Each structure stands twice: as C-alpha cells, then as structure tokens.
A and B are shown apart, each in its own frame.
Chain A
Amino acid sequence: MRGVFNKIWLAAAFAAVAAPAFAAAPQPPRMPHYRFVNYTTANGLPNNHVYSVLVDGSRIWAGTDDGLAEYENGKWKTYTTKDGLAQQAVLSLALDKRTGDVWVGTMGGLNRISGGRIIATYTQLNSGLSNDIVYGVSVEGENVWVATAAGACRLNLNTGQWSIYTDSNTPMKEIWVYGVSAAPDKVYFAVWGSGLIEYNQQTKLWDIYEDPDHQLEIVLFKNQGLIHDIVSSVSYVDKIVWVATYFGDSRYDGRYWHNFLTKDSGLPSNFTNYVKGVDANRAWFCTDKGLAYYDGANWAVYTPSLTTGKPEMWVRDAQGHVTHIPVTTAPANNYMLGIDFQGRDIWVATAGGLSHGIFEPQP
C-alpha cells in the first residue's frame, strides 16, 4: 500500500516538475496553409520568369518574360507584341477596379487593356511617359501613376495630360523608381537609392523618407526610420506603408517605423523584391529566398528548399520560436517577385513559374 502511495506521489511530483518543461515547447501559431499548384511552360505559361501577377476576379494575369499571360476557366491566353503589347517582358500590372481595365508595365512602355483588347500603348516617344521601362503602375481615381527607370509620372485619364516627377521637381535624389502605390490621400514611390517618396494628394506636397544611417548595410538606428535607401517596392494600405528594400523591410504608420530583418523577424532573406500589405497589420514579402507572411506577430515562410528543392514551410512566433511544418507542395521557385490575393488563395510570381496557393483550412 505504501509502495502504491509512493508511486502516486512520485508521479505527481514528476508531473509538477515536467509540466513547465512541456510548456516551454509551445504549439506553433496557426498560420495559413496552402496547397501550391504551379504553372510553367509545361502547362501553358509562355515563360517561367514571372515578374508580376494580378488577380482580376476569376481571371489571373501573369506578366512574364515572354508576354502577358491570362488564365481563366482553366485556359491560358498570351498577349504578345503582335497583339499590341509594348514589349514582351511584362514587369508590372495594375487593375482599375472601377472600370475593370488592366494596366500593363513592360520593358518597352505601358499598355492599357480594356474589353479584352490592348487599346492603348504609351511609350516615351509617342506620349508623355517618362521612360519605357515601367517597373510599377498603380491606378487611383482618374490618374494612372507610373514608376519608371527615369522618374515617376502620372497620366490623367480625363484630360490625357502627363506629369513627370524626377529629381528636378520632387525630393527624390535618384530617378530609378521601382514601385508605386496610390491611394486617394497619398501616393508612395519606391525609389532605388533614394528611399521612400511621398506625395500628398491634398496638399500637393512631397516628402522623402530615408535610411537614417544612409545606405550602410548595417543598421545603426533600428526602428528610427526606413531600413535602407535601396527601396524595391511599396504598398500603402489602411494608411500603413509597407516598404521592401534589398536590405530588410519596414512598416510605417505615419509616426513610427518598424523594421524587419532576418535576425529579428521571420524574413527568410533581407533581399526583398516585392511587398504587398493585406491590411494595417498583415503583409506578404517576396524575397530571394522564399515567400514570407507576417500576421502582425508571427511569420510563415513558404519556399522550395534552397538545397534540396523540397517543399518547406516554417513558422516563427512572436518569441522567435521556429517550427518547421511538414508540407508536400511549395511555390515554383524560391525567388519571389510578386503576389496577389484571390479570396483566401494567393497567386505568386516566381522566377520559376506562377504559383497558385490554394488555402487549406487546418483542423
């Protein structure tokens, strides 16, 4: 009897001691899971280098190195220069949600697609477009904002008038504009080597946000400003600016900055090609080493392994604990270039194809 009592006592003591130990190995946060279906030249994509992707209802547009691909009802259609595409390499895409028109930025000009046809081609020779290399495009109201290799510009659709923004009339110090994100109140430009440029649509005033330590590849002033001046992408949503650079990423709420680096976040790489905010707290980051999702506290990364190519997913919680999640699918390539959302699904532009991440609810 005494032996039995001792066993119970020992078991209780063990449980009391072991419980905290079990608690120290927490469950990973619930992050979205996807089943990735990848599209390549093997199943209809004109080229595996996909620079940009745009979701337009049930229709998907993919800007590739060899034309603009349209996917709908299980079928691909490709627009080429024969159809009026300004250049075969399609770098950027934007949807005018009011009209349904699609704006296409290429290495040789800007196109407008409406009613299933390319109805306009703007180049630096036939229009007021500042440069033919169109890295980014964004539509807001009656204005189309364009990021080019020689400044930003704006086309007023009602009057046909162009305005060019360069170092001569804005604070930007370089004119290599990589991205643009326009909203009714503000327009943000990602400028390679010149930080983040802001245009206030109400006051018509410009502002510039730069790395406080100016282009050093170390961070002296964390969360005191933009992480780096080599800005590759910007996304303005819910009055929050998400900024991607080649040396980390930033979030700016109009007053405070928050920076993200691999060493203190879930980013798989500091080299970020593209960022897209979901809302004020959530964003997706397209890096050279995988696709990262941030939900405001936790991170999830989706990529094929850099060494084995096998699908990988890992989750990093707010305390920095990393958990590898077993998965069977991954995006087509680790080099991510763009993303868009289709309900809870995602579409990802990669250097190895277009990936459709089909959301899979977890029990």
Chain B
Amino acid sequence: MNRTGRSGRGVPALRVAALAALIAVLLFMVSWRVRSVHAAAPQTGAILGYASPVELLFSPDGARLYVLCQDSGEVRVLNATTYAPIKTIAVGHVPRGFFLSSNGSRLFVANSWDDTISVIDTRALKVVDTWHVGMEPSSVVEGPAGKYLYVANRISNDVAVLNARNGAEVKRLAAGRGASYMTLSPNRSRLYVTHVYPNPTPSRTPPESEVTVIDTATAEVVNRIPLHSIAGVFHLAFTADGRLGVVAELYPKNLVPMTQVEHGWIFEDTLTLFGPDVGNKTVEVPLDDLDSFAARPFGVAITPDNSRIYVSCGGSELVTVISLPHLLRYVHTHRAPIVYNLAASGHYVINRIPVGHDPRGVALSPHWRRLLVANRLDDTISVIDTHTNKIVSTIHLAGSKNLWSLHFGLQMFAAMTVSSPGKRRCAACHIDARHRNAKRMNLSGIKEAQALRRGQQAFYSTRYSFHGGDACANCHIDSTFDGLQWDFEPDGLGRNIVDVMELEDIRDTAPYDWSGVNPNLPTQCGPRTELFMWRSQNYGVRTLADITAYINSLPPRPNRWHLPGGKLTPAQERGQEIFDRTADDFGKPIPLTNRCNFCHSGPLGTDHKKFDVGTKGRHDDSGLFVTPSLADIALTAPYLHNGKAATLEEIWTIYNPHDQHGRTNDLTKDQLNDLIDYLRTR
C-alpha cells in the first residue's frame, strides 16, 4: 500500500511536471512561429541572451511602459497596467538612454556602441530612422517645441545638438568628461548634463565634476555647476516646481590611504542638492548610514508632491527613500559640510527597499502610485507601492536564465511570468530573437552565460565589502575606469600611488597590477581585492571564477579614431611609421629596447614585461612597471602608472626627458602629433 501509495503520488507529480514542460516547449515553439521580431546579429558588449533593463519610461497617457534593455539591444514595450508585453523592438548596440517626444509619438534611443540614435514610431512600434551622432551617445533628450534633439556623448565629452526632424547635427556643445545623463528642468528652459568621469585636474588634487547647464532657447552652455571632490555622477531629477535639483553621485576618498575608514571610507555615496530651496548653492548630503552604505546611487525620482526622493543604489541593490521635507529641514538647520556626517542620513532616509541586482533607472507611474526600478542584472523590474514603500510585484523579462530553465523543462512559469498578487501571466511568448540565438546555444554555452552573469552581478555588487561599501564597479565604472589614482596601503601609506586601469581589453594582458605582482586575474581580483578592499570576507571559489570569467569576457570597445574598416589617415600612417621606426630623425639607430614597438608589441600593445621608463617618483618603491596595453588609450587619461601625465602628449613632452620611454626627443611637434594620432587607433 505504502509503496503503491508513494507510487500513486509520484506518478501524478511526474505527469504534471512533464505536462508543464511540454506546454512550455509548445508555447515556445508557437511563439517562435508567430512572433515577427527582427533578429539582430549577436553583438559585442552583450552577454548573449540577457536583457539587462537600464531605463524605464511611461508613455504620456500612462498606457505603456517602455523598457530599455542594454545587453539585448531592445526596447521592450509593456502594458503599463498589467505589465504584459506588447512588443519588442530591436535597436542598436548597448543602448544606454532613451527619451519620449513630448507628444509621445517618437521614442529616441541612444545606442552607445553604434554611435547612433534609433527613432521609434510609437504608433507603429518600429524603428523608422537611425541617425549617426558623436562618440558613445549615452542619453538623448528632445528640447522644447521639438526643435532640437540633444545627445550626450560619453567619449567625445560633448552634447550634440541635432535637428529633431531629420537628425542633422547642428553643433556640439562642450560638456564635462564622460557626458552621460541629461534632465530637462520642469519648465524645459534648461537642460542639465551629468558625467560619469571627473574633469581633468592636476595630479593628487581632489577630483572635480560638473553639471553642465544648457539654455534650450539658444542651445548654448550657460553655466557649469561645480561638484567639488566628486567623481562619478549619474542621474539628476527636479522637484515639480523646479526649485530643487538632486544629483546622484560618488564621493571618492582617493587622496588618502585606504586605511582611512572614517566619514564614508573609500567611497561615500551622496546627493548634491541645488536650486532655490537650498539657497541657490550646492549642498552635498550623504546617503550612507554609519554602518551600511547606499552604494552607487544612480537613478533619482521625486514625487510631484515633494514628499519623497527615491534613489536607486546599484551596488547595494536597494532603493533609498528620502523624506524631502526632512532633508530640507536638516539642510537648513545644519552647517555645511553635512556630507562628512554619516549620522545625517538617519534624519531624512526613511526606508531602504531591497530590490534586484544593480538597480538602475527608476520611473514613477503617472499617478505616482508605483515606482518601477530596472534591475539590470536580474532582468527584472521591481514594482514598489509608493504608499507602503514595499515591493508589490516583480516583472520578469525573459533571458538566458529562463532558457536554462526551459532547457530542463523546469521553473518555466516561475521564471517567465509576471508575478504579482493575484496575477500570473506566462511570458513565454515574448521570447525574442536574441533568446532564440541563446536557445541555440548548447548546454555549456548556457552555463557559460550564466557564469558570466553571476560574475557580472558580483562585479557590480557591494555585498562582499566591509559594510557593503564598494565594489569593483565603483572604480571601474560600467566596467571601464574612474580617471582617479589611489593609494593602496600594503606598500606603505602614501606610497606607490597608482592610476586605475581601463578594464575592458584587460584580458590576456597578465601580469596584473602596475607592479606586475599578480600573475593572473584570479590573484588580482581575489586575494588582493579581498584583503585590501573588501576586508570583511573573501569570494567563494565559484564567485571568483565567475568574476574573472566576466572580466575576461569584456569585449573590446569600438575604436572611433581610425577610418572605417580600420584604415588609417595619412597622419596616422606617419605615426605608425614612427611607432615602428628603427632609426631616429638624425639617422642614428634606435636601440631595440628603446623602440615603441619593442615593449608595446603584439596586438594588445604589451610585451607583458616590466620596464623602467624613467617615471619612478619619490613615492615609488621601484621604477619597474608592467608595460600597459595600448587598447583604448585614447580614452583613459591620465597616463603613466601614477596618472602624472594629464595627456598623451605629456608622456613625452614632460615625462621622458632622457628618452627612457622610447626615443622621442628628436621628434618635431608635428611628428609627435602623428604618433599620438596613431596611438589613438590602437
């Protein structure tokens, strides 16, 4: 009986599971047939199969929710009430920002790795035009009356002003370094631009960032609000009356050794307030608490009644909720600088809502009953009730995680449904072309994709560090660099200060660290990072493997400096000849070890060896440094191991007096320009 009974219970369960799997497969096949989504070629910059939502927008009538998915290169269109998918629209590579025209008829998408803007007709829900813009467009905003379209270009550090009708570039306005996010003032008379990298400053001085202010009537820069000591600025939001601007940002403590744990330790996570409500000055306030951080604030939303500020904190995987009246009261009753007082946040932070991995963009629903949060590395959107400040549902966007489930016929509904109280809706029919590509992956491919996603999550999460303070992504913003120099204390306080390296293209450039002390990435990212940065715990074996796999997976960034097809301009060709030359301008042979292409050899431009190029400073223990890769060198100022050289030119005009860093002192100025032009193409 018992055996029969057990068997009797087991068989129906097996049947249910099999039936569920069958239904899932059938649904998938049906969706494959009926969906007509344009397939895009697998892209660099994307981890195949993941959506990675980064920004959210509601349509003006509140009927639709647009979700910008970075890794899959799509805009997902959902029903704003039920969150049921309506359509998926393929856009360009690594889209980073989007904007709805004032009447909602056009959706503009900034495709950062394509250097294009996709124009989507929101009636037809299809891309109707693609416009070429500057280097790495990261956000786009339509100005008043639909005359101009503004595009923030992260690499060219400017804001392109386009004719909003046809995309023709009218001009470019100089912004700060790493121009990335833009916000219109409520009356649309001003456009505010923020930047992920700090502006250049002299070596060992505090970083300086800015908010660039553009007059939308004249399309000219009319102000630059300085953000002192800030490096890494993200979204900005205004109160509905425009009397207060709120900027999400990072306050690095890179001028003191990392033993300095007071006042926010390595990074403090802060907001800068500006506008009439704070006396028309800038006031920086902490988001962190005494023993926990609100790491990497990114998205900001303010309720129209000026009661609350919501800030997504990517590293801490939460949304910080601030009482705006309490914040203003605190600011008005306390002397600056408030930012050093981590007890301050207890006076105005009223909630911290855990959400998913790396929450980015936030959007308030039209009647601001809901706050939606794009959890980039979970492929989910958290829906928060703004009255209770609790998550009421989670929207799951299809991704490889789901394919993995599908592969085994398990967890199909759990993973691919929009789950909310009383609602369960299968999302299987919304698997798109890229997921089909992922579906074609074999099991090992899916496992690899999942490992990469786990590594990416660990890379961006602060959960491993002391008090959840920082993560790899704090210094390597969006897996790149931060433009800062840091003092790691194991070699003595104030000694061996080093510049943060660009992380993309770091694969195959071992040994790591400027000193070359770490023979491989697991050593670099594991014991070193755990001991000197996280301090509280180490990575598990699998996590470390995942992180290194993720870093190794980072694809090379498109190079914008050479001609199409990789061809060189005449100046770059002349520069290449100088790079490869064997004799100097006087016909004298250059010793082998003093030629550019000796150390900077191979496709990555490094021989992986240590060399003394005469840059040892009085605070350096040794003058031997690993030859850095030349990849993306145009982007990564400042230069040299300690960031002393503000520009590529200074490497040779100031810091190579004895020709130790290659034979260059014979070069004329135009020859040096040619050499630099060539190096930018590497």
Chain A residues within CB distance 8 Å of chain B: 98-101, 112, 114-117, 119-120, 124-128, 130-131, 142, 150, 157-164, 166, 168-169
Contacts and interface: CB of A to CB of B under 8 A. Distances in A.
A76 to B, nearest CB: 20
Contacts of B677: 161
Nearest to A131: B669
A200 to B, nearest CB: 17
A135 B200 CA distance: 26
Contacts of B212: 115
12 contacts: A100-B218, A100-B220, A100-B221, A114-B224, A120-B174, A128-B676, A157-B158, A158-B172, A159-B560, A161-B561, A161-B677, A164-B673
A101 B173 CA distance: 9
Contacts of B199: 119
A163 B650 contact: no
Could you say which of A119, A124, A157 has the most chain B C-beta atoms within 10 Å of its C-beta? A119
B562 to A, nearest CB: 11
Could you say which of B174, B224, B571, B672 has the most chain A C-beta atoms within 10 Å of its C-beta? B174
Nearest to A96: B171
Contact of A142 (B172, B221, B561): B172
Contact of B650 (A116, A119, A125, A150): A125
B647 A163 contact: no
Interface string B145-172: 0000000000010100000000000111
Interface string B644-682: 001101100110000000000000011011001100100
B95 interface: no
Contacts of A99: 171-174, 220-221
Contact of A116 (B223, B670, B680): B223
Interface in B124-148: 134
A141 to B, nearest CB: 9
Given A157-B172, A163-B571, A125 B649 contact: yes
Contacts of B134: 158
**A-B pairs, 3 with minimum CB distance:** A115-B221, A100-B220, A164-B670
A116 B224 contact: yes
Contacts of A116: 222-224
A115 B223 contact: yes
The secondary structure that dominates the B interface is: mixed
A126 B173 contact: no
Nearest to B671: A164
Contacts of A169: 670
Interface of B: 134, 156, 158, 170-174, 199, 212-213, 218, 220-224, 560-561, 571, 646-647, 649-650, 653-654, 669-670, 672-673, 676-677, 680
The secondary structure that dominates the A interface is: loop
Contact of B670 (A125, A126, A168): A168
Nearest to B218: A100
B156 A127 contact: no
A319 to B, nearest CB: 48
Contacts of B173: 99, 114
A126 B649 contact: yes
Contacts of B158: 157-158
Contacts of A150: 669
A100 B566 CA distance: 35
A114 B669 CA distance: 28
Contacts of B649: 125-128
B224 A98 contact: no
B561 A159 contact: yes
Given A101-B174, A119-B174, A128 B218 contact: no
A125 B669 contact: no
B224 A119 contact: yes
A115 B222 contact: yes
Nearest to B225: A115
Contacts of A120: 174
A163 B574 CA distance: 13
Contacts of B174: 99, 101, 112, 114, 119-120, 157
Contacts of A126: 646-647, 649-650, 653
B348 to A, nearest CB: 31
Contacts of B670: 130, 164, 166, 168-169
A174 to B, nearest CB: 16
Contacts of B223: 115-116
A116 B654 CA distance: 30
Nearest to B677: A161
A128 B673 contact: yes
Contact of B224 (A117, A131, A157): A117
B162 to A, nearest CB: 13
Contact of A164 (B220, B561, B669): B669
B564 to A, nearest CB: 14
Contacts of A98: 170-171
Contact of A115 (B224, B571, B650, B669): B224
Nearest to B153: A158
B158 to A, nearest CB: 8
A158 B213 CA distance: 20
Given A119-B174, A150-B669, A162-B673, A125 B654 contact: yes
A130 B674 CA distance: 12
Contacts of A130: 669-670
B574 to A, nearest CB: 11
A100 B199 CA distance: 21
Nearest to B572: A161
Could you say which of A142, A164, A166 has the most chain B C-beta atoms within 10 Å of its C-beta? A164
B669 A124 contact: yes
B647 A127 contact: yes
Could you say which of A117, A128, A142, A166 has the most chain B C-beta atoms within 10 Å of its C-beta? A128
A128 B212 CA distance: 26
Contact of B156 (A101, A114, A158): A158
A150 B224 CA distance: 34
Contacts of A142: 172
Nearest to B199: A119
A124 B672 CA distance: 11
A212 B560 CA distance: 46
Contacts of B680: 161
A203 to B, nearest CB: 16
Could you say which of A101, A115, A119, A128 has the most chain B C-beta atoms within 10 Å of its C-beta? A115
Contacts of A125: 649-650, 653-654
A237 B670 CA distance: 30
A72 to B, nearest CB: 13
B666 to A, nearest CB: 15
Nearest to A157: B172
Given A99-B172, A99-B174, A130-B669, A115 B213 contact: yes
Given A126-B646, A158-B172, A114 B221 contact: yes
A157 B169 CA distance: 14
A99 B148 CA distance: 14
Nearest to A127: B649
Contacts of B669: 124, 128, 130-131, 150, 164
A60 to B, nearest CB: 18
Contacts of B171: 98-99
